[in-house]
Amino acid sequence: MKSTTKKQGIITLFEQEDHILSMVESFLVDRKASGSSRGTLEFYRKKLKLFTDYCECQVIIRVTQITPHNIRLYLLYLEEKGHNHGGIHAAYRSLRAYLYWWEDEIEPEEWKNPIKKVKAPKLFTHPLEPISTDDVRSMVEICKGNTFHDKRDKATLLALLDTGARAQEFLDMSLEDINLITGAILIRHGKGGKPRTVYLGKKSRKALRNYLKQRTDTGSALWVSQKGERITYGGLRSILRRRAIKASVTVPSLHSFRRAFALNMLRAGVDIFSLQKLMGHGDLQVLRRYLAQTTDDVAEAHRIGSPVDRWGL
């Protein structure tokens, strides 16, 4: 009897290791233990849920049931459901990471990883639209008053543009992380858990000082509500929405400030390797999408460098 119970326990253990949903949770635990940021963990959770929901509909419950054909049908299913190319590519990347992790973690015998036979979907690198200079200026001009919200919102808008930080990095900033003299701000946990330093210019530092003078709380967060509570992602979006509506401009996304930072730094002559460090990108491939130049940029480059004009021919 004991032998039978022990055997059943071993079988149950193997079934758990092959269960898609159970192993997704184990994968997320592993990513968290490896130092992945909250944003990265949420990315994996959301994208893998798309896959597990699809598998549930197809009655696929075990990892070893997944075939290259299943994965291709899943990607087509996402397209039919209206997901854009970037979203489908992200779903593929998360599934690839999960399956490679499972292969390395479980070390299954006589199993071939199906993702190896599925090519990544094409990712069309359309230029990412930044917020315009005029829209930022209009939103900043709306913050003319002397209230707490006026001072904070102006500093927020300028700092979003001046640091190029990701939204969560921005929200995680603390008072101890900033040097008001140099404008340096330490981002302790960037994407992939990597720290880096971003900066504020003179005008942004002045706006930040004016905002900090309005504070009466004793909290450690840099960006807070009037009650002294750290601003949430939804709260930050509300600030942008409120100021955009008052300024009669299109409500921008948080990420559009990061795009504007990248493109304007490039136009100002900042070298691409320094820009890569400021933005916290591991390689230049990701940065290329931010720096897709417009026709005007290319025309200006030719105007400056035209060999015929420069040589006076």
Residue 299, pLDDT above cutoff 80:
no
pLDDT at position 150:
97
Residue 308, pLDDT above cutoff 80:
no
pLDDT grade for 1, boundaries at 50, 70 and 90: very low
Residue 281, pLDDT above cutoff 90:
no
Residue 6, pLDDT above cutoff 70:
no
pLDDT at position 2:
47
More confident residue, 5 or 203: 203
pLDDT grade for 126, boundaries at 50, 70 and 90: low
pLDDT over 70 percentage in the chain:
83
Averaged pLDDT score across all residues of the chain? 87
More confident residue, 102 or 8: 102
Domain ranges of the chain: 2-117, 133-301
Residue 7, pLDDT above cutoff 60:
no
pLDDT grade for 165, boundaries at 50, 70 and 90: very high
User: CA-CA distance, 160 to 76, in Å (whole number)?
Assistant: 37
Q: What's 2-117's CATH class? A: mainly alpha
Residue 270, pLDDT above cutoff 50:
yes
pLDDT at position 293:
53
| Average confidence (pLDDT) over 8-28 | 75
pLDDT at position 306:
64
**What dihedral angle (degrees, nearest 10) is formed by the CA atoms of 8, 9, 11, 12?**
120
Highest mean pLDDT of the ranges 128-132, 150-154, 276-280: 150-154
pLDDT at position 10:
41
pLDDT at position 16:
78
Q: What is the CATH number of domain 133-301?
A: 1.10.443.10
Residue 268, pLDDT above cutoff 50:
yes
Q: Which of 166, 139, 159 is nearest to 210 (CA)?
A: 159
| Average confidence (pLDDT) over 272-295 | 71
Residue 224, pLDDT above cutoff 60:
yes
